[in-house]
Amino acid sequence: ALKVGKTATQKTYTRYELTKNRLAEYIHNKYNVEDITFREINVVFIEGFYLFIRENYPCTHNTAMKFIQRFRTVVLFAHNLGLITFNPFGAYKLKFEYVERDFLEQAELDRIYQKTFASKRLEQVRDIFIFSCYTGLSYVDVCELTPENIRLSFDGNLWIIKKRHKTSVTSNIRLLDIPKSILQKYDGKLPNGKLLPVISNQKMNKNIKELGRLVGIDTPVRITQYRGNERIDHVYPKYELLCTHTGRKTFICKALSLGIAPNVVMKWTGHSDYKAMKPYIDIADSVRANAMSLFD
């Protein structure tokens, strides 16, 4: 809690609080006690905690692994303080499944942008989503956007210059015509100096899926997961996979597939390291390879 606003965000703090609460539930349900000592933590306990989360809450393997990862951070802190002399995570390996970065093709993006929605709710969600697709800003960074972040730059164009909420790395993004027109649409019409009519992330995600369904973004998408040696395939209509973060992914994949250098895109998006950009580079390479196949 003391790190919030300095080296950690409020969201990070709340995730650790949630992990603590889930752990307390697990201890109570599994062992019928209110607490245990660090010395009682072993691989069986850790695996049991993972299974408890998967069985009792609607979350994916990777989400459950994030709970285990935060738990590990606290246990390692205790180990470094000398509260325990052994590391129970020494024999436990965190395994995250690879998840394909989903993004919108330009034709799909155009269908959403050009569609006239009878509902003001959907129209506003569409505007915010399209704004993200053309700026690469994440949901929280769109929420925090202020007039002070829009600046006239050396080239005579308006740019978004803003520190990312997640990493504090500065994003520098030129405002193209479409996002600029969206800002102009709401200029002076919202309270408290807000630039866009942003609603909660949960409601945004629900409405973005509805946008995709209404414009027919229903291409079957196969998601492959691996649990150990077991392969599990799921097929969903593409609109079910859309969310606020799809906008940022679309911007990155579009830029890379156009041949823009990764280090330039990282400057735009505020990515702090190359590792985070690598999955998008792989997608861009795949897009270019598919385009070249048209010449065969």
Task: Look over the chain and give the mean of its residue pLDDT values, rounded to a whole number.
Answer: 88
Q: How far is residue 260 CA from its own chain's centroid?
A: 22
User: Phi-psi bin for 36: left (phi > 0), alpha (psi -120 to 50), beta?
Assistant: beta
Q: Is the dihedral of CA 159, 160, 162, 166 positive or negative?
A: negative
Secondary structure (DSSP) of 222-265: EEEEEETTEEEEEEEEGGGG--HHHHHHHHHHHHHHTT--HHHH
pLDDT, residue 225, reads 61
Evaluate if residue 60 carries a pLDDT over 60. Answer: yes
Cα(100)–Cα(283) distance, integer angstroms = 9
Give the three-state DSSP class for 169: coil
Claim: this prediction has a pTM higher than 0.85: no
pLDDT, residue 285, reads 67
Question: What are the tens digits of pLDDT across the range 153-184?
Answer: 888 999 999 998 877 888 899 999 999 999 99
Tokens 């034709």 sit at which residue?
A: 107
Question: What are the tens digits of pLDDT across the range 217-265?
Answer: 998 877 666 555 566 677 788 888 899 999 999 999 888 888 888 888 8
> 150: burial class by Cβ within 10 Å (0-12, 13-18, 19+)?
middle
Cα(130)–Cα(110) distance, integer angstroms = 9
Summarize the confidence of residues 186-196 as an average pLDDT. Answer: 91
Give the three-state DSSP class for 173: strand
- Would you state the structure tokens that stand for residue 114, as one six-digit string? 């050009």
Cα(44)–Cα(48) distance, integer angstroms = 6
161 touches 151 (CB < 8 A)? yes
Cα(197)–Cα(74) distance, integer angstroms = 38
Cα(61)–Cα(296) distance, integer angstroms = 40
Tokens 């400057």 sit at which residue?
A: 267
